[in-house]
Amino acid sequence: MNWQLPKINWANFFMDTGIIILKLTVIYLIYIIVKKVGFKLIARSFQKLEERKEISLGRSRTLQSLITNIFSYALVFVFIVTVLELFNIKATAVLAGAGVVGLAVGFGAQGLVSDVVTGFFLLLEKQIDVGDYVTTGSFSGIVEAVGLRTTQIRSFDGTLHYIPNRMITTLSNHSRGNMRALVDITIPYEKNIDEAIKILQSACDALAEEEPKIIEGPNVLGVQNLGTSDVVIRVIAKTENMAQWEVERKMRKVLKEALQSLQTEKD
Amino acid sequence: MNWQLPKINWANFFMDTGIIILKLTVIYLIYIIVKKVGFKLIARSFQKLEERKEISLGRSRTLQSLITNIFSYALVFVFIVTVLELFNIKATAVLAGAGVVGLAVGFGAQGLVSDVVTGFFLLLEKQIDVGDYVTTGSFSGIVEAVGLRTTQIRSFDGTLHYIPNRMITTLSNHSRGNMRALVDITIPYEKNIDEAIKILQSACDALAEEEPKIIEGPNVLGVQNLGTSDVVIRVIAKTENMAQWEVERKMRKVLKEALQSLQTEKD
Amino acid sequence: MNWQLPKINWANFFMDTGIIILKLTVIYLIYIIVKKVGFKLIARSFQKLEERKEISLGRSRTLQSLITNIFSYALVFVFIVTVLELFNIKATAVLAGAGVVGLAVGFGAQGLVSDVVTGFFLLLEKQIDVGDYVTTGSFSGIVEAVGLRTTQIRSFDGTLHYIPNRMITTLSNHSRGNMRALVDITIPYEKNIDEAIKILQSACDALAEEEPKIIEGPNVLGVQNLGTSDVVIRVIAKTENMAQWEVERKMRKVLKEALQSLQTEKD
Amino acid sequence: MNWQLPKINWANFFMDTGIIILKLTVIYLIYIIVKKVGFKLIARSFQKLEERKEISLGRSRTLQSLITNIFSYALVFVFIVTVLELFNIKATAVLAGAGVVGLAVGFGAQGLVSDVVTGFFLLLEKQIDVGDYVTTGSFSGIVEAVGLRTTQIRSFDGTLHYIPNRMITTLSNHSRGNMRALVDITIPYEKNIDEAIKILQSACDALAEEEPKIIEGPNVLGVQNLGTSDVVIRVIAKTENMAQWEVERKMRKVLKEALQSLQTEKD
Amino acid sequence: MNWQLPKINWANFFMDTGIIILKLTVIYLIYIIVKKVGFKLIARSFQKLEERKEISLGRSRTLQSLITNIFSYALVFVFIVTVLELFNIKATAVLAGAGVVGLAVGFGAQGLVSDVVTGFFLLLEKQIDVGDYVTTGSFSGIVEAVGLRTTQIRSFDGTLHYIPNRMITTLSNHSRGNMRALVDITIPYEKNIDEAIKILQSACDALAEEEPKIIEGPNVLGVQNLGTSDVVIRVIAKTENMAQWEVERKMRKVLKEALQSLQTEKD
Amino acid sequence: MNWQLPKINWANFFMDTGIIILKLTVIYLIYIIVKKVGFKLIARSFQKLEERKEISLGRSRTLQSLITNIFSYALVFVFIVTVLELFNIKATAVLAGAGVVGLAVGFGAQGLVSDVVTGFFLLLEKQIDVGDYVTTGSFSGIVEAVGLRTTQIRSFDGTLHYIPNRMITTLSNHSRGNMRALVDITIPYEKNIDEAIKILQSACDALAEEEPKIIEGPNVLGVQNLGTSDVVIRVIAKTENMAQWEVERKMRKVLKEALQSLQTEKD
Amino acid sequence: MNWQLPKINWANFFMDTGIIILKLTVIYLIYIIVKKVGFKLIARSFQKLEERKEISLGRSRTLQSLITNIFSYALVFVFIVTVLELFNIKATAVLAGAGVVGLAVGFGAQGLVSDVVTGFFLLLEKQIDVGDYVTTGSFSGIVEAVGLRTTQIRSFDGTLHYIPNRMITTLSNHSRGNMRALVDITIPYEKNIDEAIKILQSACDALAEEEPKIIEGPNVLGVQNLGTSDVVIRVIAKTENMAQWEVERKMRKVLKEALQSLQTEKD
């Protein structure tokens, strides 16, 4: 064991450092330019597509957000490989290596591959489009962007959720057809059920005529539950997509007033 | 380390790019045509099959949704491999490689294989048909389509659930035979149980005659629970498939009225 | 990079296609015939077995459902291998290969092997027979069929649950001996416990004589819980298998009436 | 591609089939005989062991159930290997192979090995004996049989639970020493605590003399909880194994009566 | 087997130890100096960047915290490798080895790689910036620092959460646009709904004029729920980011006073 | 395929069987003797150790239970290997093999190794000693024995829990220092807080003098919670290990009486 | 198969055993001496460090506990390897082997490596120091020691939690800055909100002057919740670290008295 400092040729060291910084700057500028140009080209192409109205607006925006996403990932990948080669590190060799590093990378990157595979099928099977109202896991909201790796969902309180695609194991899409409006209304145990149902149904019919968003008139189904002092009556309707909450609110108001008027008459 | 830009033959570059875009367009057109023709052929074949009524409607639609699905996947696979070869990337070589990329792909694709294997057995064992009312995990609804990778279930509120087949670990099919209607009715503690049961049973018998959807008459089983101030009486019936809720609602109404009339007589 | 369409010999293409379709039809017909004949042979063998009453009915039906299942799987496997060979794909070579596909298949098929292994031991250890009332995971019901891969359980509301055998980690069989009927009855805090127990026990004894399904007479165990205003008395009995609910209902009725009569006498 | 049916020598085919069926029958008969003789030998050996009383009854039955189990597994294994060799399938070769099938089997059988290893230690460490009252996971009951792969526990409601040994991660054995009886009794907030404790303790002492199953006399520990209108007093005792519930019930009755008499005296 | 102590050359031993300690001190000093200089350079560069206002403040701070983090990790890595080489342990050889140690390290380091990969995408996809209010898993708060391996979130009660990046499977960012303020207000069942809504709406309009943080005026949506004695009315508004709680508090006060004045007038 | 029974030399067969049984008996006897002698030697050594009081009693018993455990495992291992060699099965060869069996064993034994590794560190880090009161997972109680593979904990109701060491991921040891006694006492909303605190504190001080197990006198911390009709006051103390429950009970009694006397005085 | 006992040279056997025991004793004594000397050196070095006050007390104690821990592990490792070599077992060869044992060890030791890696980053990123009040998983308390493998946390009730570092997936450190004190106070629905807020705020201001531990005066935020008969008002303050509970208690007392005085005045 002997004691000596490694000799460093300081002149060369600063030269090399300077050249590398120069190269880095040039590469970064090219990266910035290519990125801006690419993004504009993509945006313009999709603008034309939308004008021709060949595919639905949601689908076109989904594809645009996806292609922008793929383009920027490819660019970043090329950029990183180039920079690493400046420092004499061959990225592809590292990826192909089978040592401990390779193993760790393989396992670490596993999640990434799952994300891309799941994202690919999400789009291929048209499970999701920008603008859809979806639920996945414990997240609900409007889809803002679909990427190769992540999907962005904005919930109704304004929060933006970033969800890796592999986390989307099951997807519930609420924008794929008409929705149901359901109201449970409680009447006292002593009341005559037939009479109550008749009054509720006529209130429903009146609402159905007024409200164009109702597709299949609210119908009184019957006794849903027998409590010890109450009887629960269920009423359901079919509405246009996304109109279910509004219709439910109107139904609640109308049904409550119908029951109340009945009460008043009797008194 | 020396500083030089890679020389790019710009003439060739634009030539090649042009040819590739041309090829891409041709391939895309062929893809579109084959897809449309294939889909029509499949649809027409199954239409004939349905007319001949050799297999049940649900089964025929299940098979149609499956075969359309397999066909479109095969097409997309061929399309992607062709496009990749345009860019000199051999997809099969990548798949067979055993480096880090291969490993990551293997693990990432694992879910895909599980989906296909599970989907295959779902169909082979006739666990599921288009139109069945099923529950799997926390999702319930009517099956809309069964694919190689995903099953689509529409729940009663109109939401469409996309469920990867591997997520269907256990499947509960509610469309495989007659269903049970069950009503628990509460009577006050002081009431005589024998008398109450007699009245409830006669109301049940009357309902059984009226309602053809009831297969095995509603029967009063007896005391299900002893509360501190109530006695719970259970009544069950067997009904046609999917008629259980309607029958339960009718039973609740009839039983409640029977009990009430009893009350009134006494007073 | 040069630009040419692959030459396709269209005459040969249509010839080959025709021959393949012909072969497919023949293979499919053979498959159908073998399947029907096989199923009938199996059914007839087991019918004879049942007539001779050498093994229990549940066991014989379990074996029949299993053997039918194995037979149809073997047939489908042979059918698929034959069809794949028509298209020059050697299934066994794919299975033996160790590339990415092989790996993915290996992992994907893992669940299948677990299913078969677990199913094998379910039957070997006689844990389950067709007709048993079992609970596994969150599913309860009567076993309808036991297969190599899946077990079918019909719950009491009529739903048919398909459960892959590997999901049956623990199995609770409710058809393996006599069952217990348990009733907790509440008496007011002020009442004398000894007196209450005496009356309840005499009611139990009367019931035991009437009801032949009770194997070990209902016995009053004593004070199970001390509430602030109530005392809970526990009564248990041993009954024939599947008669526990009926006996519990009768016990509830009898015990309640006994307590009530006590009340009345005092007043 | 050419079109010809494989030639089958039908004479040979039926000959071979006949011989195989004959062999199968002989093997099956030997299997049945060896099994019956073996089971009898094992049963008789253990009967002698029990008569000599060298080891505890629970332990001897545990070992008997285990050895019967190992014996029948070994027999089945030999039987299956023999049958497979009739059809020219070498089971050991399949097990040693390292293709996709081997891999899948390896993973599938992993659970089996875990079962055996865990079962081995369950017995070696004497964690469990036939007749013990144990809890594992969500299952409680009396151990009926301990096998190489599965343990059978009968819960108090009569259900028989089959639990693979690897599922027994932690085991709580309630038959390994004296048990504790614990009763919480509520007194009104206004009552004097010292006086209440004195009365409860004297009732406990009286019970301790009467009841031989109590090993360490019930002792009043003191105020366990202060509610807004109640004070909870805790009383604990040590009892013989399995007598804890009976003692608790007696304690509840005695303590309640003691408190009530106090009340009455005051009034 | 023979018995002798290994001979240690004590002179050499102390010499070597002395040299190693000397070397360690020098290396440590260099480490300290490089670290301080590096941190200052990074801090100064970002200060300039912020002054020029080319990128947003949150983004610049995010990048600064990240680069400082990467720099210190690289330094520590170089430091450890150097120290290990003093003791003749080649760290790279250990990492590349494939024995049991290598395997264990590979698995152990797997988490580290996942952290870095996830962290990389968190930043690339701009999911997170220093100063954002985010929720991930069960942690909510303001992002304080984003590192290669860990993200620091300070929750509103002052606690600082250190979260490994791989634990951030889904991220909900509450600082990405306007937020919603939602108030549910309860009115008695007998009250006229139309009148109540009118009064609440006019109170909302008054508030909207006063409060500039409200972007979309609070609107009364209608009947959200029908209780047995109450009717729940829902009011929502859109507010500036982070102003949602303040606006909700004001809305609650204003709506309550509006309802109360109504009450008073009537009396 | 030809039909012949394997020829068995019956004379040799019985001879060999006899010799094997003889050998087995001898080996078993040696095993029994070595075990008994070994156990006695271990017990005697530790008895001496305890007499000399060089290490704490808990630690010495921990080591004794561990060494007895290691010794009996080693013996069983040697015994099994010897027996297997009688039947010409080389256990070491099986363990070293890399076929499907080896793989399955490797995975199956994984849990065993985890147990031993965790157990080793439990003891090395002195996390646990026989006689400690610990909590791990959902199990609490006094440690009865610490083994290489399993730890035995007896809970206060008398149940003995067998916990594989690998299940002890986190361990909470309640026998490592003084404990805290905490009592929350509720006073009516109208009462003056300062006065109540003064009275409670003086009752605490009186208790502190009486009770030697209290190390840091019970102190009244102040208002812990504001209910709508109650105010909760918190009192805490530091006590000797394991005396916390007794002290809490005394505190509850004393505090309640103090509050009550206050009430009475006022009236 | 022939029957002979292995010949053992009993003289040699006892000689060897004696020598081994001698060697063991010597090795053990050296181990004890090195351990004691090492611990003293470490303790003295850190004592000096603390006196010079170059690093914070918490940090210095953290490092001391860590280095003591590393030192004792290294010693134990050397000790075990030496002892194993006495018995001719080469530990390094076992570790490098790739048979079933090696595999099992590799998997078993995986947890150990994860512990060390996580522990390393816990310290490098200064997430934790001895004396910090932290929460991780379901454990909260003051850090007592940070080791290579385990972290010790003492919770406020006196229990000492031993947590393997790999279990510390996320860490919440409550000793990293000022804390928030939060009190929700309920006022009756009929009360005027403005007036109540004014009185509460003035009480807060008075408290802020008195109490130096409050850093940012308690502020009344406004109406947090609208119950059917109550209005909840929220008050928050910023306090010194660890003073949050004390301040909250004082705030509760002061706010309650303020509200009560208001009540009294009116009456």
pLDDT (tens digit, 9 = 90+) per residue, C94-136?
A: 555 545 556 656 666 677 778 888 888 888 888 999 999 999 9
> In terms of DSSP bridges, do strands A160-164 and G139-146 run parallel, antiparallel, or are they unpaired?
unpaired
Q: How many residues does chain B have?
A: 267
Please state the rounded mean pLDDT for residues A171-188: 92
Residue A23 has pLDDT above 90, yes or no: no
Stretch among B155-164, D193-202, E234-243, F12-21 having the lowest mean pLDDT: F12-21
Q: What is the pLDDT of residue C153?
A: 95
Q: What is the pLDDT of residue C226?
A: 87
Residue F265 has pLDDT above 70, yes or no: no
- Mean per-residue pLDDT of chain E: 84
Most confident of B108-112, C118-122, E168-172, G14-18: E168-172
Backbone angles phi, psi at G98, to 5 degrees: -125, 20
3 state DSSP class of C135: strand
Show the tokens assigned to G230: 């109550």
- Percentage of chain A beyond pLDDT 90 is 36
Residue B2 has pLDDT above 60, yes or no: no
Determine the Cα–Cα distance for residues G116 and B32; give it in Å rounded to an integer. Answer: 57
Query: Which G residues in the span 5-64 are in contact with F, Cβ-Cβ below 8 Å?
Result: none
Determine the Cα–Cα distance for residues F31 and F39; give it in Å rounded to an integer. Answer: 12
Q: pTM score, two decimals? A: 0.84
Contact F83, F24 (CB under 8 A): yes
E261 in contact with G at a CB cutoff of 8 Å?
Answer: no
Q: What is the pLDDT of residue A237?
A: 94
Q: What is the pLDDT of residue G220?
A: 94
Residue with tokens 């006899």: F18
pLDDT tier at F266, thresholds 50, 70, 90 = low
CB-nearest partner of D19 from F3, F256, F260? F3
Stretch among D52-66, F210-224, G61-75, G189-203 having the lowest mean pLDDT: D52-66
Q: What is the pLDDT of residue D92?
A: 62
3 state DSSP class of A187: strand
Residue of D86 and F108 predicted with greater confidence: D86
Q: What is the pLDDT of residue D221?
A: 93
Stretch among B132-146, E125-139, F47-61, G223-237 having the lowest mean pLDDT: F47-61
Determine the Cα–Cα distance for residues C172 and E19; give it in Å rounded to an integer. Answer: 71
pLDDT tier at G190, thresholds 50, 70, 90 = confident
Ordered DSSP codes for D133-167 = EEEETTEEEEEEEE-SSEEEEE-TTS-EEEEEGGG
- Strand ranges, E, within chain F: 133-136, 139-146, 150-154, 160-164, 171-173, 179-188, 214-226, 230-239
Residue B98 has pLDDT above 50, yes or no: no
Residue B13 Cα, gap to closest chain C Cα (Å): 12
Determine the Cα–Cα distance for residues G204 and G185; give it in Å rounded to an integer. Answer: 13
Contact C177, C241 (CB under 8 A): yes
| Spatial CA neighbour of B154 closest among B179, B137, B132, B182 | B132
Contact E200, E258 (CB under 8 A): yes
> Are chains E and F touching, using the cut-off of 8 Å on CB pairs and a minimum of 3 such pairs?
no
Q: String of b and e for B207-226 (b: at least 16 CB within 10 Å)?
A: bbeebeebeeebbbbbbbeb
**DSSP annotation of B166:** G
pLDDT tier at B3, thresholds 50, 70, 90 = very low
Determine the Cα–Cα distance for residues F242 and F249; give it in Å rounded to an integer. Answer: 13
Q: What is the pLDDT of residue E8?
A: 58
Q: What is the pLDDT of residue A3?
A: 45
Please state the rounded mean pLDDT for residues B144-153: 89
Which amino acid, one-letter code, is at C120? F
3 state DSSP class of B230: strand
Contact D129, C137 (CB under 8 A): no
B112 in contact with A at a CB cutoff of 8 Å?
Answer: yes
Which class is domain G179-266?
A: alpha beta
- Mean per-residue pLDDT of chain G: 84
pLDDT tier at D264, thresholds 50, 70, 90 = low
Please state the rounded mean pLDDT for residues F206-210: 92
G108:F127 CB<8 A: no
**DSSP annotation of E6:** P
pLDDT tens across C217-235, in order?
Answer: 899 999 999 887 889 999 9
Residue A2 has pLDDT above 50, yes or no: no
- Percentage of chain C beyond pLDDT 90 is 36
Nearest chain A residue to B69 by CA distance is: A125
Which amino acid, one-letter code, is at C8? I
pLDDT tier at A212, thresholds 50, 70, 90 = very high
B93 in contact with C at a CB cutoff of 8 Å?
Answer: no
Best F72, F77, F100, F167 residue to mutate vs chain D (most D CBs within 10 Å): F100
pLDDT tens across D104-131, in order?
Answer: 566 666 777 788 888 888 888 889 989 9
Residue F192 has pLDDT above 90, yes or no: no
| Vertex A202 angle, CA A197 and A206, to 5° | 145
Residue of F237 and C190 predicted with greater confidence: F237
Count Cβ atoms within 10 A of the Cβ of residue G2 and give its class: 0-12 exposed, 13-18 middle, 19 or more buried: exposed
Q: What is the pLDDT of residue F86?
A: 79
Q: What is the pLDDT of residue G1?
A: 39
CB-nearest partner of C249 from B98, B114, B223? B223
R_g of chain F computed on alpha carbons: 31
- Mean per-residue pLDDT of chain A: 84
pLDDT tens across B44-76, in order?
Answer: 888 888 887 777 788 888 888 888 888 888 888
E108:G97 CB<8 A: no
pLDDT tier at C24, thresholds 50, 70, 90 = confident
Determine the Cα–Cα distance for residues A31 and D5; give it in Å rounded to an integer. Answer: 65
HSE-up of residue B241 (Cα within 13 Å, Cβ side): 13
Q: What is the pLDDT of residue C244?
A: 92
Q: What is the pLDDT of residue E266?
A: 57
pLDDT tens across D164-191, in order?
Answer: 998 998 999 999 999 999 999 988 888 8
- Percentage of chain G beyond pLDDT 90 is 36
- Mean per-residue pLDDT of chain B: 84
> In terms of DSSP bridges, do strands E133-136 and C139-146 run parallel, antiparallel, or are they unpaired?
unpaired
Please state the rounded mean pLDDT for residues B168-197: 90
Q: What is the pLDDT of residue C135?
A: 95
Cα distances (angstroms) measured from residue A133 to each of A130, D119, G191 = 9, 51, 43
Residue ranges covered by each domain of chain C = 11-97, 179-266
CB-nearest partner of B23 from C3, C112, C260? C3
pLDDT tier at B95, thresholds 50, 70, 90 = low
E126 in contact with A at a CB cutoff of 8 Å?
Answer: no
Determine the Cα–Cα distance for residues D72 and D34; give it in Å rounded to an integer. Answer: 10
Residue A118 has pLDDT above 90, yes or no: no
**DSSP annotation of E167:** G
> Are chains B and C touching, using the cut-off of 8 Å on CB pairs and a minimum of 3 such pairs?
yes
pLDDT tier at F111, thresholds 50, 70, 90 = confident
Across the C/D interface, how many CB contacts are shorter than 8 Å? Answer: 123
Nearest chain G residue to F193 by CA distance is: G253
**DSSP annotation of G11:** H
Determine the Cα–Cα distance for residues C95 and D97; give it in Å rounded to an integer. Answer: 12
pLDDT tens across E198-232, in order?
Answer: 999 999 999 999 999 999 989 999 999 988 788 99
G226:E185 CB<8 A: yes
| Spatial CA neighbour of F198 closest among F173, F180, F222, F162 | F222
pLDDT tier at B207, thresholds 50, 70, 90 = very high
Residue E6 has pLDDT above 60, yes or no: no
F230-239, strands of its sheet edge to edge: F179-188, F230-239, F214-226
Please state the rounded mean pLDDT for residues A107-116: 74
Determine the Cα–Cα distance for residues G160 and G154; give it in Å rounded to an integer. Answer: 4
Q: What is the pLDDT of residue F107?
A: 63
Determine the Cα–Cα distance for residues A262 and D95; give it in Å rounded to an integer. Answer: 79
Residue E2 has pLDDT above 50, yes or no: no
Please state the rounded mean pLDDT for residues G66-74: 86
Show the tokens assigned to E9: 């050359």
Q: Which residues contact D77 (CB under 8 A, 6 or more apart)?
A: none
Residue B217 has pLDDT above 70, yes or no: yes
Contact C163, C150 (CB under 8 A): yes
Contact C219, C184 (CB under 8 A): no
This complex has an ipTM of: 0.81
pLDDT tens across D21-45, in order?
Answer: 888 888 888 888 999 999 999 889 8
| Spatial CA neighbour of E183 closest among E132, E219, E159, E131 | E219
Determine the Cα–Cα distance for residues F34 and F28; give it in Å rounded to an integer. Answer: 10
pLDDT tens across D220-233, in order?
Answer: 999 999 887 889 99
Nearest chain D residue to F256 by CA distance is: D226
Please state the rounded mean pLDDT for residues E52-78: 83
